[in-house]
A = this chain, B = another copy of it.
């Protein structure tokens, strides 16, 4: 072994990325620390220099994927000249699209022990950034529409449940969504506008 290869240099990041790769290939259950380590060319126990446990590495993978998603989501709401309402629709679409393009991610992310948030209206340090972004967009949207204060919480729940529900359905294995989910999501959110 070359001396220069004893230290990997950036093993932590390499492990995270290899783990995500492997998950996309063989599913979450097929991910093992040893396989990921082998993929990075290091020994079985090497990951323990960077992670406390397998769960810890999975959490890091989840954060990484969520970060990637946030880039996509923020790009989707970047245009300034559109209405807050249109913005929220685009965000919902981008959110669902991301999960449809990466079917393994929904279960992985949404049932991660790290993902925490409260379905309330007040600003919080959400541990699930996409929800924080959605809440801010929905806030602007409802303000724009002139939604009365006392129904806003209900509207938030409705909107988020719809987005999450479509994402859940569209990523369930062996479930065919016969309609056009993008059109449907837009329509459902639109229909809810006047509530």
Contact = CB atoms under 8 A, between A and B. Distances in A.
Interface in A69-111: 107, 110-111
A128 to B, nearest CB: 8
A172 interface: yes
A188 B169 contact: no
Interface of A: 107, 110-111, 113, 115-120, 127, 153-154, 157-158, 160-166, 168-169, 172-179, 181, 184, 187-188, 191-192, 195
B113 A173 contact: yes
A139 to B, nearest CB: 15
Q: How many copies does the complex hold?
A: 2
Contacts of A158: 184, 188, 191
Contacts of A162: 161-162, 165
A87 to B, nearest CB: 21
B179 A153 contact: yes
Given A158-B184, A168-B164, A176 B107 contact: no
A181 B119 CA distance: 11
Given A107-B107, A161-B162, A175 B113 contact: no
Nearest to A171: B111
